[in-house]
Amino acid sequence: MQYAIKGGNRLSGEVQIGGAKNAALGILAAAIMADEDVIIDNLPDVRDINVLLEAIQDIGAEVERVNRHEVRINGKNIHSVHVNGEFIRRIRASYYLLGALLGKYRKAEVALPGGCDIGVRPIDQHLKGFRRLGAKVSVQYGMVVAETKNLTGGHIYLDVVSVGATINIMLAAAMADGNTILENAAKEPHIVDVANLLNSMGANIKGAGTDVIRIKGVKKLHGTTYSIIPDQIEAGTFMVSAAVTNGDVTLKNVIPKHLESIAAKLLEMGCTIIEEDDTIRVIGTENLQNTHVKTLPYPGFPTDMQPQITVALSLAHGTSLVTESIFENRFKYVDELAKMGAQIRVESNVAVIDGISHYMGAEVIAPDLRAGAALVLAGLAADGITIVDDIKYIQRGYEDFDEKLRGLGAQIEMINDDHDLRKFLISAV
């Protein structure tokens, strides 16, 4: 499947931002830890979420999709701690089932995680955490097996700031015997969201959102009703859509605090930003200015926004530097962007971007989720027609991406074949 885009329209209007995919993944895993109903609202309807829901249903959890954005989960009939579906291997967050099952049943066997190919993605810190809680952990035939009779609280220091390890250890420690102190924890908004959900299920977690998290283990978790926070990265992507099209876009249902690092960079580039309670408006400019960006753990600039901001900086006057400090392999999309006229050199983990006046439409391939979204943004800004191939990656994390963009005046369609393309070309004005 592909997106066909006719660029050049200034995007304007309002767009509703959905629930945070990466919070939802941790939250769904946490939900199976109770033997009562956990009702989750503001769930994004994207592929990674649906794969995880299938996986937890597979091991016996009740999963009822109340409506597109609400699900009821009940973990009381879970009959297996072995998770090895065909699809679960392709998503990264399968590893959260390790923490959840180990915490609840003292045993978990989960296929090693896949996910976007953005660099080597070890899970040593997750495993180190489980071991510190007393689990025996081994990797056997592509499965991680973690097991113990006594899961006990412990003092854990993370050697690298890891979102996944922080959430995973929090999940297991929530039901361990005794107290856990997790130091050098990640501080992303989704860490806080998973901790809030767990606390609303009866867990005792303090300090989420700071670099020291204290967890008092509890024997049981109970049912709850919970609404997921808005997606920081979906929001950021739409903010950049306004910047690259000299548009005027208002994002609804956001937490502006989570968007500060992105807003700061767009301001430096000359955009106007107007924040209200749960909306943020981005007004573009004809004269985008260069700036420098370095990806860092929250509250730094998110690595998941690196490709999108690079697309915008490529349209700015002067030379910009983008330093990727989280994942070493996250510049693969630059070759695709070059087909559209971008002038970017990558030296180690730094992209040196010489601004161009405009992109030219081209046929490009989405190498991963965020880079795929970034190529769509370039297509919206480009002269002529852009085809973005392999949009299955984009569908992992953006709900109705094309429809939301059309709502802002973009000309974009999902196409399957030449017939669809011809239809699009005739209708595009």
Length of the chain: 429
| Cβ neighbours around 389 below 10 Å, total | 15
- Interface residue with ligand EPZ among 74, 148, 162, 411 (CB under 6 A) is 162
Selected from 6, 104, 370, 404, the binder of ligand EPZ by CB under 6 A is 370
Give whichever of 146 and 415 is closer to ligand EPZ, judged by the CB atom.
146
Q: Quote the crossing angle between the two packed helices 21-31 and 163-174, to the nearest 10°.
A: 20
Least Cα distance to 141 among 164, 111, 117 occurs for: 111
169-188 mask for ligand EPZ (x: CB under 6 A)? -----------------x--
Among 32, 40, 71, 123, which residue interacts with ligand EPZ (rule: CB under 6 A)?
123
Q: Which residues contact 419 (CB under 8 A, 6 or more apart)?
A: none
Which residues between 301 and 340 bind ligand EPZ (CB under 6 A)? 303-304, 326-327
Of the two residues 258 and 370, which places its CB atom closer to ligand EPZ in the complex?
Answer: 370
Give me the least distance between CB of 285 and ligand EPZ, in Å please.
28
Mark the segment that binds ligand EPZ (CB under 6 A) among 123-131, 205-213, 284-292, 344-352: 123-131
The residue (of 6 and 47) whose beta carbon lies closer to ligand EPZ is 47
Confirm whether 271 is a catalytic residue. Answer: no
User: With binding defined as CB under 6 A, does residue 237 bind ligand EPZ?
Assistant: no
What does the H/E/C string look like for the chain?
CEEEEECCCCCEEEEECCECHHHHHHHHHHHCCCCCEEEEECCCCCHHHHHHHHHHHHCCCEEEEEECCEEEEECCCCCCCEECCCCHHHCHHHHHHHHHHHHHHCEEEEECCCCCCCCCCCCHHHHHHHHHCCCEEEEECCEEEEECCCCECCEEECCCCCHHHHHHHHHHHHCCECEEEEECCCCCHHHHHHHHHHHHCCCEEECECECEEEEECCCCCCCEEEECCECHHHHHHHHHHHHHCCCEEEEECCCHHHHHHHHHHHHHCCCEEEECCCEEEEECCCCCECCEEEECCCCCECHHHHHHHHHHHCCCECEEEEECCCCCCCCCCHHHHHHCCCEEEEECCEEEEECCCCCECCEEECCCHHHHHHHHHHHHHCECEEEEECCHHHHCCCCCHHHHHHHCCCEEEEECCHHHHHHHHHHCC
Tell me if 137 contacts ligand EPZ by CB under 6 A: no
Of the candidates 116, 145, 161, 165, the residue annotated as catalytic is 116
Q: Contact between 125 and ligand EPZ (CB under 6 A)?
A: yes
Spatial CB neighbours of 398, under 8 Å, sequence gap ≥ 6:
46, 234, 237, 369, 373
Residue 93 touching ligand EPZ (CB under 6 A): yes
- Least distance in angstroms from the C-beta of 193 to ligand EPZ: 11
Q: How many CB atoms lie within 10 A of CB 165?
A: 28
Q: Binding residue for ligand EPZ (CB under 6 A) from 10, 69, 92, 131? A: 92
Q: Which two tokens stand for residue 113?
A: 């995680």
Our finding on whether 122 is near ligand EPZ (CB under 6 A) is yes
Interacting residues with ligand EPZ between 274 and 303 (CB under 6 A): 303
Query: Considering beta carbons, is residue 25 or 364 the nearer one to ligand EPZ?
Result: 25
Residue with the closest Cβ to ligand EPZ?
A: 164
Selected binder of ligand EPZ within 78, 165, 240, 249 (CB under 6 A): 165
Interface pick for ligand EPZ out of 6, 106, 126, 404 (rule CB under 6 A): 126
Span from 49-57, 159-167, 373-381, 408-416 in contact with ligand EPZ (CB under 6 A): 159-167
Please identify, among the stretches 64-72, 124-132, 349-357, 382-390, the one whose residues bind ligand EPZ according to the rule CB under 6 A: 124-132
Question: Which range in 29-37, 119-127, 347-355, 400-408 contacts ligand EPZ by CB under 6 A?
Answer: 119-127
Question: Which of 5, 11, 25, 408 is the binder for ligand EPZ (CB under 6 A)?
Answer: 25
Smaller CB distance to ligand EPZ: residue 25 or 385? Answer: 25
Q: How many residues form the binding site for ligand EPZ (CB under 6 A)?
A: 25
| Site stretch for ligand EPZ (CB under 6 A), options 32-40, 114-122, 252-260, 344-352 | 114-122
| 212 lies in the binding site for ligand EPZ (CB under 6 A) | no
- CA–CA gap between residue 31 and residue 349 (Å, rounded): 38
Q: Which residues are catalytic?
A: 116
Binding site for ligand EPZ (CB under 6 A): 22, 25, 92-93, 116, 118, 121-126, 160, 162-165, 186, 303-304, 326-327, 369-370, 397
